[in-house]
């Protein structure tokens, strides 16, 4: 049986940018667009040219993509021709192969929000779509509030959709703009539009998650015949977000009836990047990834219940609906339950530390991890700090150097040119190779700007470790994440530091303290010790 083609339209860079607190830079938009293209979506909606400086700049510098690059805008306003609508012109001037225009299909919005007649609105749709076609572009029409419109005035909602199709729109996208529609309503409305003469392979669905139905509504539309799905990575979007492509894509490739019925632009090979891409987006946004996210969440395949954990060890299908490796995720059996020890040994051997079953240090390590996690530490990501903790308990951690003390000064004052400038200075005193060594560094970078106290500390710590210097010279701090693990005045900060070295190794360490500088220093020291261990440095003096 030959499969039908189902098209994926990504609007992370447009509707996704409507997420409260999300503000993409042009560089970030480029990075995300490239990731989407690797994944294999069919359309990338880049934003609204002319609406804000970032979007305009992005279209001027947009990357080359296999996906059809699309600019978003709105249908022409009444009382002017499509040619003379400057807002529409700005969108067309972005020069994208495809243009998606949002327009009204709900009579209430036409008459209340726009204050024009239904006939005028229908004409705005036809004329705008025709204008895009005339420019040799692919035209898409987002029928805003379609499902609410269909409930209020089905004839008009369908007239609006039909007008776009008749004017030559490649896709008429039915939008549940307010996110209030339920699957049965979506099914009924899609059936009606198809019956009215807009073929399913010209129908798209755009949903929002205000009742946690964005994914279900998208699939209901596909079941009824629609062949394009609009969504965003990690379900970003206005209010509660858009349909989550990070969930929909795995479903379409892995779950029946979709897997055998449809082809999408996403291959099974690309699907293995799904988890990585999802986490990359969180990194860009500096968000903590949602642990419980479907398919890609860190907890999505975590089996905590004792009964589940033991069954999983016999046969993973007992408690997993899909194989985590297919989406690039992995199974977790949290340390906290009885399966903890075997799991711990697995994690240690991954780190090249083989511990025989029943070693008395194993329960001690689990205990330590629990204690530290209660204080705010997290060893899910900070694998290197986890290794050091385990080595310490196993008596496998040489003592290389001792930090005697450190002092960091952050100052802000007027400079000669009477301009307020800030500068940090760090003094670190260590005993290494039998000698006490004082190092001092400041936070100024090449460009002469202040990179702050942690930067100064990192430099001072790496400045003179005597006999170990050769091992740490190729080591570099590449990322720094801070999180308040406990709100309020008692705020406790968790700092996670990513380091790399000349051999291309990357490792993460963690520090926790009410004092953010102290938390950072703890992570920096761990990073340094891990590097010495990995390079097999011998303790001296």
Indicate the Cα dihedral angle 83, 86, 91, 96, nearest 10°: 40
Residue 195 contacts its own copies per CB under 8 A: no
Residue 451 contacts its own copies per CB under 8 A: yes
- Least distance (Å) from its own copies to the CB of residue 293? 7
**Of 303-322, which residues contact its own copies (CB under 8 A)?**
303-308, 311, 314-315, 318-322
H-type helices in 224-305, by residue range?
245-254, 258-261, 268-271, 274-285
**Are the C-beta atoms of residues 509 and 521 closer than 8 Å to each other?**
no
Beta bridge partners of 497: 480, 509
Between strands 420-432 and 435-442, the pairing is antiparallel
**Of 422-441, which residues contact its own copies (CB under 8 A)?**
422, 424
Tokens standing for residue 332: 């977790």
Residue 1 contacts its own copies per CB under 8 A: no
**Are the C-beta atoms of residues 71 and 46 closer than 8 Å to each other?**
yes
- Least distance (Å) from its own copies to the CB of residue 295? 8
Residue 487 contacts its own copies per CB under 8 A: yes
Number of residues located near its own copies, criterion CB under 8 A? 130
Residue 415 contacts its own copies per CB under 8 A: no
Q: H or E element: which one contains 189?
A: helix 183-195
Residue 240 contacts its own copies per CB under 8 A: yes
Question: Of the candidates 12, 122, 209, 232, which one interacts with its own copies according to CB under 8 A?
Answer: 209
Residue 178 contacts its own copies per CB under 8 A: yes
Question: Of the candidates 11, 247, 385, 441, which one interacts with its own copies according to CB under 8 A?
Answer: 247
- Least distance (Å) from its own copies to the CB of residue 479? 5
Tokens standing for residue 318: 């007992």
**Of 96-115, which residues contact its own copies (CB under 8 A)?**
108-109, 112-113
**Of 111-150, which residues contact its own copies (CB under 8 A)?**
112-113
Question: Of the candidates 133, 261, 437, 481, which one interacts with its own copies according to CB under 8 A?
Answer: 481
Which CB sits closer to its own copies, 251 or 274?
A: 251
Tokens standing for residue 104: 């009204």
C-alpha 371/C-alpha 300 separation (Å) is 24
Residue 531 contacts its own copies per CB under 8 A: no
C-alpha 459/C-alpha 178 separation (Å) is 51
3-state secondary structure of 476: strand
Applying CB under 8 A, which part among 3-11, 80-88, 236-244, 267-275 lies near its own copies?
236-244
Applying CB under 8 A, which part among 89-97, 156-164, 265-273, 331-339 lies near its own copies?
331-339
C-alpha 107/C-alpha 497 separation (Å) is 54
Residue 516 contacts its own copies per CB under 8 A: yes
C-alpha 61/C-alpha 54 separation (Å) is 11
Residue 502 contacts its own copies per CB under 8 A: no
Tokens standing for residue 496: 């996670």
CB contact set of 501 (below 8 Å; sequence gap of 6+):
474, 475, 476, 531
Residue 38 contacts its own copies per CB under 8 A: no
C-alpha 375/C-alpha 337 separation (Å) is 19
Applying CB under 8 A, which part among 90-98, 262-270, 463-471, 479-487 lies near its own copies?
479-487
Between strands 228-231 and 203-206, the pairing is parallel
Residue 404 contacts its own copies per CB under 8 A: yes
Applying CB under 8 A, which part among 19-27, 88-96, 117-125, 390-398 lies near its own copies?
19-27
């Amino acid at each position: 049986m030959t499969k039908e083609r189902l098209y994926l339209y990504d609007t992370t860079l447009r509707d996704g940018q409507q997420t409260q607190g999300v503000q993409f830079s042009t560089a970030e938009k480029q990075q995300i667009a490239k990731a989407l293209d690797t994944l294999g979506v069919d359309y990338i909606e880049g934003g609204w040219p002319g609406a804000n400086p970032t979007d305009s700049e992005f279209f001027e510098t947009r990357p080359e993509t296999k996906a059809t690059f699309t600019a978003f805008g709105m249908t022409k306003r009444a009382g002017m021709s499509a040619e003379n609508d400057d807002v529409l012109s700005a969108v067309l001037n972005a020069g994208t192969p495809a243009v998606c225009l949002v327009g009204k299909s709900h009579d209430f919005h036409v008459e209340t929000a726009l204050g024009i007649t239904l006939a005028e609105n229908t004409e705005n749709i036809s004329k705008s779509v025709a204008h895009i076609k005339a420019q040799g572009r692919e035209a898409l029409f987002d029928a805003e509030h379609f499902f609410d419109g269909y409930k209020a005035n089905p004839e008009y909602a369908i007239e609006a959709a039909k007008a776009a199709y008749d004017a030559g729109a490649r896709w008429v996208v039915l939008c549940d703009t307010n996110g209030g529609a339920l699957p049965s309503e979506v099914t009924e409305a899609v059936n009606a539009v198809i019956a009215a003469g807009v073929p399913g392979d010209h129908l798209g669905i755009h949903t929002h998650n205000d009742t946690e139905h964005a994914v279900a509504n998208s699939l209901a539309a596909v079941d009824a015949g629609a062949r394009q799905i609009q969504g965003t990575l990690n379900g970003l979007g206005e209010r509660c977000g858009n349909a989550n492509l990070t969930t929909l894509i795995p479903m379409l490739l892995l779950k029946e009836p979709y897997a055998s019925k449809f082809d999408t632009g996403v291959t099974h090979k690309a699907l293995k990047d799904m988890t990585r891409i999802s986490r990359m987006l969180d990194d860009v946004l500096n968000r903590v990834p949602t642990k419980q996210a479907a398919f890609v969440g860190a907890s999505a395949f975590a089996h905590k219940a004792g009964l589940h954990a033991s069954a999983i060890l016999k046969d993973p299908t007992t408690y997993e609906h899909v194989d985590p490796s297919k989406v690039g995720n992995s199974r977790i059996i949290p340390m906290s339950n009885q399966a903890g020890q075997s799991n711990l040994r697995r994690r240690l051997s991954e780190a090249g530390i083989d511990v025989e079953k029943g070693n008395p240090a194993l329960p001690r390590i689990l205990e330590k991890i629990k204690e530290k996690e209660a204080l705010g530490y997290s060893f899910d990501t900070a694998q290197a700090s986890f290794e050091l903790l385990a080595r310490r308990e196993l008596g496998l951690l040489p003592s290389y150097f001792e930090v005697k003390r450190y002092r960091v000064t952050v100052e802000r004052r007027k400079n000669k040119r009477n301009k307020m400038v800030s500068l940090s200075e760090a003094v670190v005193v260590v005993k290494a190779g039998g000698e006490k060594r004082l190092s001092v560094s400041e936070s100024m970078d090449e460009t002469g700007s202040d990179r702050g106290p942690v930067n100064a500390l990192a430099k001072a710590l790496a400045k003179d470790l005597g006999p170990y210097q050769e091992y740490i010279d190729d080591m570099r701090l590449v990322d720094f994440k801070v999180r308040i693990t406990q709100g309020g005045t008692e705020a406790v900060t968790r700092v996670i530091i990513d380091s790399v070295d000349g051999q291309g190794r990357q490792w993460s360490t963690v520090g926790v303290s009410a004092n953010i500088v102290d938390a950072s220093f703890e992570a920096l020291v761990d990073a340094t010790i891990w590097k010495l261990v990995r390079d097999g440095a011998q303790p001296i003096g």
